[in-house]
Chain A
Amino acid sequence: MANGDLLNISISGLRTSQRVLATIGHNISNVNTDGYSRQEAELSTRDPQFLGNGFLGKGVEVVGVNRQVDAFLNTQVLVNTSSSSKQQVLFDLSSQVDKVFANEQTGLTPALQSFFNGLQELADDPSSIPARQVLKTEAETFVARFHEINERLSDLNLNSNQRLDDMVSEVNSLADAIARLNRDISQSPGIANGIVPNDLLDQRDALLNDLSELVGFTTINQQDGAVNVLIGNGQTLVVGNTAQTLATVPDPLDSSRKEVAFVSGGASFVISNNLRSGEIGGVLDFRDDVLDPAVNGLGRLAVVVGSTINAQHRDGMDLDGQLGGDFFVLPSPRVVGSSGNTGTLTVAYDPAAVGNLSIDDYQLDVTAGNLLLTNLSSGAVQTLGAIGSGPFSAEGLIISEGVAAVNGDRYRLEPMQNAARDLRLNITDTSKIAAAAPIKGSAALANTSDAVVSGGEVLDVTNVNLLNSVNLVFNSATTFQVNGAGASIAYTSGANIDLNGWRVQITGTPQNGDTFSVQSNAGGVGDNRNALQLSALQITDILENGTTSYQGAYSQMIAIVGTQTRQAEISSSALGVLKQQSIAARSEVSGVNLDEEAARLLQFQQSYQASAQAISIANTIFETLLSAVR
């Protein structure tokens, strides 16, 4: 009987060693498999046999093959992957905006500077057609630069939409695969007894890892071995063996942008605001925090430059002696109404308040008889007034009702969205560039005093009498009359004399009978006063309520985008390190080390050899017995 015991015990040793060696082989083969967790065969002594005088050992057996995992470390990896891939995407996309804005060739700065240099050259030589041609070309380049940069930014928007489409379909296929693995795992034979299919779990962990790159989520483990995946605000992407789907839908008030929606029971609702991690979160954050402000900032600059240059240009006189027209064709603010609106709304930039224009988008609601304007960036709400009491001036805009509004009407105002795209040059004929001031002041040759009159400036170019000739005739040393008739006006040296929409000053000590005339400057082709005024706009603080210049505002945009990009870069590398560390921590537990496996291989090769030797000894013993009998 003893001999049979030894044989059986040794055989159990042989078989166990084989099992262990197989597990080691499995580990070695999967040393480079992503998501593979090292497996370890768990050994145990067999139940002993009671012989009356004691227990006799019966060898060894494999009681289970375990996966070496730490659930906490796995979760860490998922969370860090989501955060890190979000920042990576944010950095990749932001740095594209960053480079578009600041590039010495493609940025706006050189074109802006060249345009104003063109104005200076015009001021140097106002009657020169070549100088006018140069200015027109520089203005065309300036406008084209707005279009190009805007084009690059809208490409990034299209690209973001495309990425959202791709990522959402990837999320859907991952969710599907996870649901299928959930089914396989929950249906695997030993699951009721807690025996889990290690390799399937590894596969599912790898899928969850892939999913975490796209979007952040939380998991809930189920009794049957399945995991439920929750995204956003608790939307169940995977429940057991069924997967829900995400979809991209166009924003109802802005079809140029897509939002991520959760599809449930045939209905879908937008969950973009709750998806703020993973690559999807990165794209959404980029669009809201970097791209939109950049597009709006560029648009605002286009509106403000166009509007202020136009206003000054209209105050001038062109080569043909005509008052200046518009230099640029101004864009108009983008307004989209809800499909259920009753009223209509028109919105225009307020030329008198361009400094108040912001880069924010707004929502206009009609509630309880009032028009409410909500700033979508800050959330600040202001009441414009009651229905029908418009037009309203707010935020540099003039908002007026067409068809009267009714409660419930809703509009999205994106005043700057298309502005950079729609700015155009109005000047086609270079002689229409108004370099001169429209009026001139002159002292009559017969004057006996040395008193002088200023050239004159325009206060109100719309005054119909602006270009009429007016004589200011002194009827005493201290008073003068307009055109030598009417009331005597007291004279103060250097004081403003405002009439017919213009303003002049007379300085000195005029004598009775002295005449000063103000008249149209037609023919004053050498006059550059308006060109100087136009070029002075370059250093005038206009934007942000009159606190910064064109270039200042653009530099601010660059600084903001640059800072955002820098932050994304720093976060991306910091979170990348965290991700690497959590992967390292997981691999400390779950990874395969070939040295370790080699040692184990030797260890179990030896135990196999020893068990085999024991069988040989059992055989020898049996042979000895037989030969004794023989």
Chain B
Amino acid sequence: MRLSTQQFFQQNITNMQERLVKLNEYQTQIASGKRILAPSDDPAAASRVLEINNSINATVQFQENAGIATSRLEQEEGVLSGATQTLQRVRELVLQGRNATLTASDRGFLASEVRIRLDELLGMANTRSSNGEYIFAGNQAKTQAFTQDASGTVNYNGDQGQRQLQISADRQIADGDNGREVFVGIRNGNGTFSTAANNANTGTARISAGSVLTPGSYQPDQFEIRFTSGNSFDVVNVTTATTVAAAQPYTDSASITAIPGIEVALNGAPAAGDVFTINPSASQSMFATLGNIIAGLTGNQGSTGDNALFQQQMDNALVDIDQSIEKLLEVRASIGARLKAVDSQIEVNDEFQFQMKSVRSQLEDADLAEVISQLTLESTALQAVQQSFVKTQELNLFNFI
């Protein structure tokens, strides 16, 4: 075999260039810490890395959303915790107020505190978030959630929307509750029906909140217990205009079960013509409940009927306030559950991010130890080529002629 001189030089140059290219590649890998410098280095891994980056970035956004959800839910929880305290204070005031020994001015003091508490509650219900949204206005976020009209009635101006935030690819969580749900949509009475004494009653009898015995048999109609004398009454279904039970004997504090499915009890001495109504529970806002209390505390006093009515109002107020407090506790429990869910989702997201990053690192990161040893190997090889080239090119017959 012959080797042409030109080929000899060319071959050596090519060899050295190839080594140099390799060296450069290793050096770039070390400098960037990455194995994949262009997708063509490993197309499958490169496109996978892109998708992983996408997942990681999306998760970063989910974490941000989760953070926002947490802070909003915490704000709401703070407000509702305050509202609970307010209602509990009002409950104490009602308990104080129903004491029959209080004078009119004592009740007046209590009424004015309840008024302050009502304003306080209204202020809470109109809480705004840091970016100016009414947090209890549903989706009508820029509309003041509750306004009080001239007659003192508090109206809800929001809607029933509830905003969901995306906290993972397939999970959304509500970042709040609308005011209709929290403050307005509270069932009065015992939740199924409410009882009341007629304003015109003259006896001392009061009706209890009652309870449901068999939920299936209760017909949500309007019923009335009408006393025909101090010890006899009729039970009438006003809706259907039928008498359910006629001429029932009255016993103080005895349970009356004439209305199918429920029981109520009366205590005290009714007078002939006294009427007690039993209505299906309706929605009653906390503000209306507080308004009723104020009305009760500032109502007429003196006559037997007035006192009985006052006592009845206070009884009903206690039931309604308990319903309100229960509603707040229910919403707060739901907020707590959501906060917990967000927390655990944040952990899941963190874990996911960590896993994705380690997969990405396996895909695209250079194994430095290996690359450095290859770099060393390659630079040794380059040196060897250079030295052997210098040596062999000296071997020329012309040097000896």
Tell me, yes or no, whether B305 is within 8 Å of chain A by CB.
no
CB distance from B70 to the nearest CB of A (A): 12
Determine if B385 is an interface residue (Cβ-Cβ < 8 Å): no
Within 8 A of B (CB), among A276-327: none
Cα-based distance from A552 to B54 in the complex (angstroms):
10
For B140, list chain A residues within 8 Å (CB): 523-526
Q: Is the CB of B6 within 8 A of A98?
A: no
A455: nearest chain-B partner, CB-CB: B161
Contact A528 B7 (CB under 8 A): no
Q: Is residue A220 within 8 Å, beta carbon to beta carbon, of the partner chain?
A: no
Q: Using an 8 Å CB-CB cutoff, how does the interface string of A432-458 with B read, 1 for contact, 0 for none?
A: 000010001111011110000001000
CB nearest neighbor in B for A552: B51
Q: Does B65 contact A (CB under 8 A)?
A: yes
Interface residue tally on A, bucketed by range: 35 or more
Chain A, range 548-589, C-beta contacts under 8 Å to B = 551-552, 554-556, 558-563, 565-566, 569, 580, 583-584, 587-589
Stretch from B88-96, B203-211, B264-272, B276-284 at the A interface: B276-284
Please choose the segment from A123-131, A143-151, A161-169 that sits at the chain B interface, where 4 or more of its residues have CB less than 8 A away. Answer: A123-131
9-residue interface stretch from B102-110, B164-172, B332-340, B374-382: B164-172
Q: What 0/1 readout, one digit per residue, does chain B (384-398) give for beta carbons within 8 Å of chain A? A: 000000000000111
Q: How far is the CA of A120 from the CA of B175 in the complex (A)?
A: 14
Cβ B39 vs Cβ A532 within 8 A: no
Complex Cα spacing A529 to B166, Å: 11
- The answer to whether B142 touches A526 (Cβ under 8 A) is yes
Task: Tell which of B48, B138, B165, B282 touches A448, judged by Cβ atoms closer than 8 Å.
Answer: B282
A527 within 8 A of B: yes
User: A440-B161, A521-B139, A562-B39 are contacts. A594–B169 as well, Cβ < 8 Å?
Assistant: no
Given contacts A526-B139, A592-B4, contact A511 B220 (CB under 8 A): yes
Interface residues of B (CB under 8 A from A): 1-7, 11, 14, 38-44, 46-48, 50-51, 53-54, 57-58, 61-62, 64-65, 68, 131, 133, 137-143, 159-161, 163-166, 169, 172, 180, 184-185, 220, 280-283, 396-398, 401
Complex contact A525–B139 (CB within 8 A): yes
Assuming the contacts A448-B281, A587-B6, asked whether A528 and B131 have C-beta atoms less than 8 A apart, the reply is no
Which partner residue on chain B sits nearest A561 by CB separation? B39
Q: Which of B65, B138, B169, B283 contacts A539 (CB 8 A)?
A: B169
Known contacts: A102-B38, A559-B43. The answer to whether A593 contacts B166 by CB under 8 A is: no
Is A604 part of the binding interface, using a Cβ–Cβ cutoff of 8 Å? no
> Is A535 an interface residue, CB under 8 A from the partner?
yes
Flag whether A628 is at the interface (Cβ < 8 A).
no
Nearest neighbor of A599 in chain B, beta-carbon distance: B397
In the assembled complex, A538 has its CB within 8 A of some CB on chain B: yes
How many angstroms between the C-alpha atoms of A94 and B6 in the bound complex?
A: 33
- Decide if A46 is an interface residue (CB 8 Å cutoff): no
Q: In this assembly, does A591 line the interface, its C-beta being within 8 Å of a C-beta of chain B?
A: yes
Q: In the complex, what's the smallest C-beta–C-beta distance from A63 to chain B, in angstroms?
A: 23
Which residue of the partner chain B has the closest CB to A120?
A: B61
Over the window 407-445 of chain A, the binary record of Cβ atoms lying under 8 Å from chain B Cβ atoms (1 yes, 0 no) is: 000000000000000000000000000001000111101
A562 engages B43 (CB within 8 Å): yes
What 9 A-B pairs are tightest by C-beta distance, nearest first? Answer: A591-B4, A526-B141, A562-B43, A562-B39, A565-B40, A524-B139, A598-B397, A527-B139, A559-B47
Closest residue on chain A to residue B187 by CB atoms: A450
Pairwise interchain contact A117-B61, C-beta atoms closer than 8 A: yes
Query: Which of A448, A532, A588 lies in contact with B4, CB distance below 8 A?
Result: A588
Interface residue A264 (Cβ < 8 Å from any Cβ of B): no
The residues in A between 513 and 527 inclusive whose CB is less than 8 angstroms from any CB of B are: 521, 523-527
* A527 and B163 within 8 A (CB): yes
B5, B133, B161: the one within 8 Å of A593 (CB): B5
In the bound complex, what is the Cα–Cα distance between A443 and B162 (angstroms)? Answer: 14
Which residues of chain A are within 8 angstroms of B1 by Cβ–Cβ distance?
588
A117 near B396 with CB under 8 A, answer no
Given contacts A446-B283, A558-B39, A569-B40, contact A591 B7 (CB under 8 A): yes
Residue pair B61, A566 in contact (C-beta under 8 Å): no
A478 at the interface (CB under 8 A from B): no
Complex Cα distance A442/B158, Å? 11
